[in-house]
Amino acid sequence: MPTTDINAIQNVNRIENCPLPKMNALANELTHTVYPHDDIYGNYCSIEEYINCPPETVFEYLADGYKLAEWTYSLRDFEPAAFPDQLLAFDKIGTGTKIYCKTVSNKAAMTVDYHCAWDQGKELWMIYLMRVVPAELVLNKPGSVVLWTNCRHPYYDKNPFPETAPEGRKKWVGDLWPFFYAGHYIEMQNLKYILEHRYQQSQE
109, β-bridge pairs: none
Distance of CA 100 to the CA centre of its chain: 13
Single pTM value for the model: 0.87
- Pair 87, 78: CB distance under 8 Å: yes
C-alpha to C-alpha distance for 68 and 51, rounded to whole angstroms: 17
| C-alpha separations of 55 from 74, 109, 155, 195 in Å | 25, 11, 33, 11
The per-residue pLDDT for range 130-176, each reduced to its tens digit, is 999 999 999 999 999 999 999 999 999 999 999 999 999 999 999 99
C-alpha to C-alpha distance for 130 and 110, rounded to whole angstroms: 9
Termini Cα distance of the chain:
12
Under the banding of pLDDT at 50, 70 and 90, the label for residue 31 is confident
Distance of CA 22 to the CA centre of its chain: 18
C-alpha to C-alpha distance for 3 and 33, rounded to whole angstroms: 40
Q: Which fold has domain 11-203?
A: Alpha-D-Glucose-1,6-Bisphosphate; Chain A, domain 4 (3.30.530)
Q: Give the ranges where the chain is alpha helix by DSSP (H).
A: 20-30, 37-41, 55-63, 68-71, 135-138, 180-203
Running DSSP on this structure, what letter comes out for residue 74? Answer: S
pLDDT reading at 1 higher than 70: no
pLDDT score of 3 = 66
The per-residue pLDDT for range 171-199, each reduced to its tens digit, is 999 999 999 999 999 999 999 999 999 99
- Pair 83, 121: CB distance under 8 Å: yes
pLDDT score of 35 = 56
One-character DSSP codes across 16-53: TTS-HHHHHHHHHHHS-SSS-HHHHHSSEEEEEEEESS
Phi, psi of 14 (to 5 degrees): -130, 165
